[in-house]
Amino acid sequence: MDRRVALTLATGFTSAVVVCFALFAEAPQGCVKGDCINGPGERVFPDGNRLIVSFKKGMPEGQGKIQYADGGTYEGTFVAGKQQGYGTRNWPGQALYRGQWLQGRIHGQGSIRFASGTTQEGFFQNGMLEGKGKSTLSNGGTYAGDFSAGRFSGKGTLKTPRVTYEGTFKSGRADGKGKAVWTDGSSAEGDFRSGKPHGSCNVRYANGNHFEGEWKDGRPDGQGKYSWADGAVYTGGFSAGMPEGEGEFVAEDRNYKGSFKSGLYSGKGVLGTKAGNRYEGDFEKGSPHGRGVYTFKSGTVYEGDFRDGKFNGKGTLKFKDGTTQEGTFKDGQFTGK
């Protein structure tokens, strides 16, 4: 008898089982006990598998048992030589299935337990869970909802020791509209793809920070607003999780409006401080760098070159009383014409 069994096991969001059986041969070769044509009998096949069942015209019929050479077993009903009706199949060290069969395949209501501890229960179609069902995961989590081809797919609720997600799934992962709440108090609500925020999503962090806007592959990307627990706020563009492009940052001690690169002031911008000072001009890596104008609260104004946040290069410093220094500056100090 040629019997092929394919079993696919996975953990986490993905669990599936596909079991295929070939037809039993009609010839009573290997009959070692009883009547292997019409009556109770026992056959042993060249591959070492053993069949104990009643036979009808050489085909297994009714209640019976298969003892596989690898130690596995099937106990249940046979119809016209194939597993059909209720049966139990054991794959040693891999999985145990209890439920309905149809023409040699797992098909109908049933449950399966994997060696990892993961279980699935519901309606199986051609060997895989399909439609409404539930699963207990090896990490102690649970899932209840829609399945397709053995995976979470459609509407469902996943609960694990760390997070509860309720929403849409695809291929075993959060995908579509949904909401996730973590045990530390953080949450994410909006669009997901492949288990990560993707699209428009509102995320609150355990430390009190909050982001609302566009996401890509689990990181802010596009337009959004990030608020810190201390009251600081950034509004503008993001790329790969960092402020990028045009934006505005407002905090207790300063505010900046202009261009950002990799999360730092970079390009043209305007920076004001709590002390009342103001800089407008070029920035690089978070500091004034290039040409710009720095106005002190006192009324003194410097216009010229900057490097690493200081007056460096050619410039003019005009004091409130009208006197000026025009020439070369180094590290904020006037060195002469």
pLDDT for the residue 15: 34
Does the residue 292 lie in any domain? Answer: no
Q: Which of 8-12, 33-37, 260-264, 318-322 has the least mean pLDDT? A: 8-12
User: Nearest 5 degrees, angle CA 162-CA 164-CA 169?
Assistant: 120
Q: Are 131 and 147 in contact (CB under 8 A)?
A: yes
Q: Does the pLDDT value for residue 76 go beyond 80?
A: yes
6: pLDDT strictly greater than 60: no
Would you state the pLDDT for residue 172?
Answer: 94
47 inside domain: yes
Residue 337: per-residue pLDDT: 76
CA distance 219 to 252: 26
Instruction: Give the pTM.
Output: 0.80
Give the integer Cα–Cα distance in Å for 73 and 21.
13
Cα dihedral sign for 136, 114, 168, 128?
negative
Q: Is residue 335 part of a domain?
A: no
Tens of pLDDT along 191-222?
999 999 999 999 999 999 999 999 999 999 99
* Banded model confidence at residue 273, pLDDT cuts 50, 70, 90: very high
SS (H, E, C) the chain: CCCCCCCCCCCCCECCCCCCCCCCCCCCCCEEEECCCCEEEEEECCCCCEEEEEEECCEEEEEEEEECCCCCEEEEEEECCEEEEEEEEEECCCEEEEEEEECCEEEEEEEEEECCCCEEEEEEECCEEEEEEEEECCCCCEEEEEEECCEEEEEEEEECCCEEEEEEEECCEEEEEEEEEECCCCEEEEEEECCEEEEEEEEECCCCCEEEEEEECCEEEEEEEEECCCCCEEEEEEECCEEEEEEEEECCCEEEEEEEECCEEEEEEEEEECCCCEEEEEEECCEEEEEEEEECCCCCEEEEEEECCEEEEEEEEECCCCCEEEEEEECCEEEEC
CA angle centred on 12, ends 73 and 166, rounded to 5°:
125
Give 40-57 pLDDT, tens digit per residue: 999 999 999 999 999 999
CA-CA distance, 47 to 32, in Å (whole number)? 15
The share of the chain scoring above pLDDT 90, in percent, equals: 90
In the chain, the number of structural domains is 1
Q: What is the mean pLDDT of residues 175-196?
A: 97
User: Is the Cβ–Cβ distance between 56 and 63 less than 8 Å?
Assistant: no
Task: Tell whether 268 is covered by a domain.
Answer: no
In a domain, 20, yes or no: yes
Output the domain CATH number for residue 46. 2.20.110
> Averaged over 151-178, what is the pLDDT?
97
How far, in whole angstroms, is CA 261 from its chain's centroid? 28
**CA gap 252, 238 in Å, rounded:** 22
Mean pLDDT over 144-173 rounds to 97
Please report which confidence band the pLDDT of residue 28 belongs to, taking 50, 70 and 90 as the band edges.
low
Average pLDDT in the chain: 91
The predicted structure's pLDDT at residue 125: 94
Distances (CA, A) of 98 to 73, 91, 111, 112, 123: 12, 12, 5, 6, 12
* Per-residue pLDDT at 16 exceeds 90: no
| pLDDT of residue 22 exceeding 80 | no
Query: Does residue 125 lie in a domain region?
Result: yes
pLDDT for 336 equals 87
Structure token pair of residue 127: 């060997």
Host domain of residue 37:
1-133
Q: Average pLDDT, stretch 101-109?
A: 96
In a domain, 59, yes or no: yes
Mean pLDDT of 94-100: 97
Q: Considering the domain boundaries, does residue 63 fall inside one?
A: yes
176 bridge partner residues = 192
CA end-to-end span of the chain, whole Å?
100
